[in-house]
């Protein structure tokens, strides 16, 4: 399935409402960076709701619905207005656009429609460049709604708008329903490769492994759990090849060698990049490894605060593989738990763990913060696969991520600018697990 092929019903429907000529179409164009709506200085140019399905990083598949102004007059206006009110009923997340400093009965009415339907709403004061400081609106203050200030035609405030969409998106849209259940069918067998070495905690498996097993069982699939040394023997004994092999990223090379090429292979932390964060963003971020030079500054961030041991993945193994790949000394800093800097500008790359102890909104916040500041962010499994030369293979189970990788490679080859996004959310990790 391509990036824009998600069924319409699975997309978050974002309806954009507001008077004519407040800049709804400009706002949509600014965030989509495509001329999907007609932008004009004349009121009422947008005659019908215009729908634009897109993959909005890092929210995922959304459907923007750009409405005609419902203050239209005359027969044509009534037709437009009817279509607009229908859009309220299928809006998961409403966007009310008004000009900075202009709020009246009309905006109150739109807000009432959202509140009646219990739909989350983002209020945008557009054309904020024309007003020095917009007057506060008591209704919004009472409802604790902070308007986003934009000047969409100049592209200002669009990053804040994107953040506000993430903040307001319903939790059931934010949270991925499955770790790998969508990669297997009922009755399929997945092989999970779990090294039992000095790093493995005594007497138990770590959270990503346990959750993956549970996810397979919830999907009526089967899990065969083996150490990396037993993988080849285990696969040889199967009557049919497994549907999927998932390995601890640290064993990637051996597991890639022992897994038949036609069996999809990935790692737990790549699964968690998708489950807890945004795989597409982190795949794109991984390509920045090719830009690293000797002396590059790298932040390695872990969501929990486990005590590192001798051959720790974040402190020893990833630095070693990355240094070998880059061919020069790297300046690497580490952060754990809730510590994550507001200002990321001094790093050339952020490498994050699978964040199994975070909720997804918290991890998305970190990804957004990086992207807002133009700092690429990758993930343990992705950066290991890339450094070891098996990146494409590790992405084989995720066609959309592969497609995004190829598109990003093409953009990089053409020196197209990276798409900036906006800032983050506080993490809420509770931590006592070990990677």
Place of tokens 């069982």: 217
User: Computed from CA positions of residues 96, 100, 105, 108, in that sequence, does the dihedral angle turn out positive or negative?
Assistant: positive
* CA distance linking residue 169 with residue 164, whole number of Å: 8
CB of 354 to ligand SF4, least distance (A): 4
Place of tokens 């005594």: 202
Site for ligand SF4 in 377-406 (CB under 6 A): none
Contact with ligand SF4 (CB under 6 A): which of 6, 174, 388, 434? 434
Contact with ligand SF4 (CB under 6 A): which of 304, 363, 367, 385? 304
Q: Where are the beta strands (DSSP E) in 12-120?
A: 12-18, 50-56, 60-66, 93-99
Q: Is position 303 an interface residue for ligand SF4 (rule: CB under 6 A)?
A: yes
Q: Is position 433 an interface residue for ligand SF4 (rule: CB under 6 A)?
A: yes
- Please tell me the count of residues contacting ligand SF4 according to CB under 6 A: 15
Closest alpha carbon to 397 in 135, 183, 190, 207: 183
Q: Rounded to the nearest 5°, which phi and psi values hold at 338?
A: -75, -10
Query: 432: which residues sit within 8 A by CB, 6+ positions away?
Result: 304, 306
**Is the CB of residue 165 less than 8 Å from the CB of residue 97?**
no
Place of tokens 């319409």: 8
Contact with ligand SF4 (CB under 6 A): which of 92, 258, 302, 348? 302
Pick between residue 80 and residue 274 the one whose CB is nearest to ligand SF4. 274
Max Cα-Cα span within the chain: 76
Pick between residue 22 and residue 353 the one whose CB is nearest to ligand SF4. 353
Closest alpha carbon to 356 in 211, 166, 244, 177: 211
CB of 356 to ligand SF4, least distance (A): 3
Pick between residue 75 and residue 310 the one whose CB is nearest to ligand SF4. 310
Q: Name the CA dihedral angle for 169, 175, 181, 186, rounded to a multiple of 10 degrees.
A: -70
* CA distance linking residue 225 with residue 213, whole number of Å: 9
Pick between residue 36 and residue 434 the one whose CB is nearest to ligand SF4. 434
CB of 258 to ligand SF4, least distance (A): 24
* CA distance linking residue 374 with residue 382, whole number of Å: 19
Pick between residue 152 and residue 353 the one whose CB is nearest to ligand SF4. 353
Q: Is position 299 an interface residue for ligand SF4 (rule: CB under 6 A)?
A: no
Site for ligand SF4 in 328-367 (CB under 6 A): 353-357
User: In the stretch 196-215, what mask flags binding to ligand SF4 with x, by CB under 6 A?
Assistant: ----------xxx-------
Pick between residue 299 and residue 355 the one whose CB is nearest to ligand SF4. 355
Structure-token pair, residue 115: 């509140």
* Region from 91-99, 182-190, 213-221, 427-435 binding ligand SF4, contact rule CB under 6 A: 427-435
CB of 435 to ligand SF4, least distance (A): 3
Pick between residue 163 and residue 267 the one whose CB is nearest to ligand SF4. 267
CB of 138 to ligand SF4, least distance (A): 43
Q: Which residues of this protein are in contact with ligand SF4, per CB under 6 A?
A: 206-208, 302-304, 306, 353-357, 433-435
């Amino acid at each position: 399935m391509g990036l824009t092929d998600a069924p319409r019903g699975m997309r978050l429907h974002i309806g954009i409402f507001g008077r004519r000529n407040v800049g709804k179409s400009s706002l949509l164009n600014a965030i989509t960076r495509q001329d999907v709506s007609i932008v004009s200085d004349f009121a009422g140019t947008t005659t019908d709701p215009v729908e634009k399905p897109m993959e909005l990083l890092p929210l995922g598949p959304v459907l923007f619905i750009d409405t005609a102004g419902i203050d239209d007059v005359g027969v044509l206006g009534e037709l437009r207005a009817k279509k607009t009110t229908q859009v309220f009923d299928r809006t998961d997340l409403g966007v009310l656009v008004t000009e900075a400093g202009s709020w009246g009965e009309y905006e109150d009415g739109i807000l009432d429609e959202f509140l009646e339907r219990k739909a989350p709403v983002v209020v945008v004061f557009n054309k904020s460049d024309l007003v020095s400081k917009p007057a506060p609106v008591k209704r919004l203050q009472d409802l604790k709604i902070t308007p986003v200030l934009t000047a969409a035609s100049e592209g200002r405030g669009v990053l804040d708008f994107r953040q506000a969409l993430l903040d307001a998106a319903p939790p059931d849209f934010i949270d991925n329903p499955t770790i790998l259940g969508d990669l297997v069918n009922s009755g399929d067998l997945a092989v999970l490769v779990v090294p039992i070495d000095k790093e493995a905690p005594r007497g138990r498996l770590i959270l990503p492994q346990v959750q993956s097993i549970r996810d397979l069982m919830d999907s009526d699939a089967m899990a065969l759990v083996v150490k990396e040394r037993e993988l080849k023997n285990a696969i040889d004994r199967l009557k049919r090849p497994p549907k999927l092999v998932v390995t601890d990223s640290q064993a990637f090379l051996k597991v890639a060698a022992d897994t038949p090429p036609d069996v999809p292979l990935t790692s737990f932390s790549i699964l968690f990049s998708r489950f807890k964060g945004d795989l597409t963003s982190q795949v794109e971020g991984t390509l920045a490894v090719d830009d690293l030079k000797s002396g590059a500054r790298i932040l390695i961030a872990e969501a929990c605060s486990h005590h590192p041991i001798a051959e720790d993945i974040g402190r020893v193994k990833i630095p070693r593989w990355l240094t070998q790949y880059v061919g020069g000394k790297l300046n690497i800093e580490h952060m754990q738990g809730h510590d994550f800097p507001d200002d990321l500008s001094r790093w050339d790359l952020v490498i994050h763990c699978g964040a199994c102890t975070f909720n997804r909104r918290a991890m998305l916040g970190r990804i957004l913060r990086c992207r807002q500041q133009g700092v690429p962010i990758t993930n343990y499994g992705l950066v290991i696969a890339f450094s070891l030369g098996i990146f494409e293979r590790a992405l084989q189970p995720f066609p959309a991520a592969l497609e995004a990788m190829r598109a990003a490679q093409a953009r990089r080859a053409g020196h197209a600018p990276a798409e900036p996004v906006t800032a983050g959310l506080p993490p809420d990790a509770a931590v006592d697990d070990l990677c």
